[in-house]
Amino acid sequence: MPLLSRRDVIASAALAAALGVGAPVTLITPAQAQKTPPPATPFRRFAVGTFECTAVYDGIWEKPHDPAFIKNASVDDVKRALRAAGQTDEFVPIPFIPLVVSTGRDLVLFDAGTGGQVQPTAGTLLDNMKEAGLDPGKITTIMISHFHPDHIFGLMEKGSNAALFPNAEIVVSTAEYKFWTDPAVIEKLPEARRPLAKRIQSTFPAWKNVRQVDGEMEVAPGIRSIATPGHTPGHIAFHIASGGEQMIYSGDTFYQPALSLRTPHWHGSFDQDGPLAEKSRRALADRIVADKVPVAGYHFPWPGAGVLEKDGSGYALTPAKA
């Protein structure tokens, strides 16, 4: 797997925390100029056996520091963790990096991007797919890790909520689907999250191309789901295998890896269930380390993939070379 070999990676330490459901997404105002330039080439290809994988850049959220962001760490702790990982500490950099896998039979998209509806500095997925020679109209399957806006708004047209991938099968976990489509959940959510639940309930139940899956099972040839709840009630990761090679797409299991790996006990304000998210994070990281499997993450530093090693009571990520 050339992209993820030790010779092909740059060293970078990683610390800890997570992000999930309990707080609103704060939009960047037009007055805040973007400080992170997009990658010169907004896609990066690598192979898993005979599968061709393409990480595609959808933009970035330069999240202002917030003392409530990590429940059991201070802003100074967060800044130190970012610096230790070789990242800026001026803000929390949160890239959006969906993954496209061509299996030879199917063209599979892992998470659908922001649709340009979450941050003004994001929403370039479809254009960047086309630049990579990937036709969004030929996507056959979309694997959704969870129902947060930056992962599903790319499924819906802004304003009309029209399905943007009506011919692709959308694979979601049963637990995630049931949680967000339960009419009673709206009153249980914080005020800022209620519009998200209402939007989900006005779209997903009407779509005929949604398939629910449970636990660990084959969801497409060469692709298996992995239950990793906590960030949201039904968050799932995916195991990708071909020709004796493997990779795990972790979704938001590790969220911003500088804040969720070296100190996996840190609990992010967006994790719906912090202790459960930590348990899932450690279990998946232990599996990745034991099996020596490369990992892709939706919010990893560009190009969104790397290798994990055990590091004391936590883990260290060596990002793939950009």
Distance of CA 257 to the CA centre of its chain: 11
By DSSP bridging, strand 107-110 and strand 99-102 are: antiparallel
Distance CA 103, CA 237 (A): 18
pLDDT beyond 90 at 20: no
Specify if 149 maps to a domain. Answer: yes
Residue 26 forms part of a structural domain:
no
What pLDDT does residue 32 have?
52
Quote the DSSP letter at residue 39: P
Q: Is residue 281 part of a domain?
A: yes
Range of the domain at 143: 2-21+48-319
**Does the structure show a pLDDT above 90 at 1?**
no
Rounded Cα distance, 179 and 208, in Å: 19
Burial class of residue 133, CB neighbours in 10 A (0-12, 13-18, 19+): exposed
In this structure, is residue 42 part of a structural domain?
no
**Half-sphere exposure (Cβ direction) of 290: Cα atoms closer than 13 Å:** 6
- The secondary element (H helix, E strand) that includes residue 224 is strand 223-227
Query: pLDDT, tens digit, for every residue of 163-212?
Result: 999 999 999 999 999 999 999 999 999 999 999 999 999 999 999 999 99
* 193 in a structural domain: yes
Closest to 255 in 3D by CA, of 27, 55, 93: 93
Tell me the residue length of the chain.
322
Q: How far apart are CA 9 and CA 44, in angstroms?
A: 14
Q: What is the pLDDT of residue 7?
A: 29
Dihedral class, residue 36 (left if φ above 0, else alpha if ψ from -120 to 50, else beta): beta
For residue 290, pLDDT over 60 is answered with yes
Q: How far apart are CA 280 and CA 314, in angstroms?
A: 13
Residue 36 lies in a domain: no
Provide the angle, in degrees to the nearest 10, between the axes of the packed helices 174-181 and 194-203.
110
Range with lowest mean pLDDT among 19-28, 117-126, 158-167, 253-262 = 19-28
In a domain, 29, yes or no: no
Q: Which residue has the higher pLDDT, 181 or 19?
A: 181
- The CATH number assigned to the domain holding 99 equals 3.60.15.10
Which residues lie below 8 Å from residue 216, measured CB to CB, with a gap of 6+? 224, 225, 226, 227, 239
Q: Total structural domains in the chain?
A: 1
CA pair distance 100, 123, nearest whole angstrom? 16
Q: What is the pLDDT of residue 25?
A: 33
Are the beta carbons of 235 and 215 closer than 8 angstroms? Answer: no
Within a domain: residue 127?
yes
260-287 pLDDT, tens per residue?
999 999 999 889 999 999 999 999 999 9
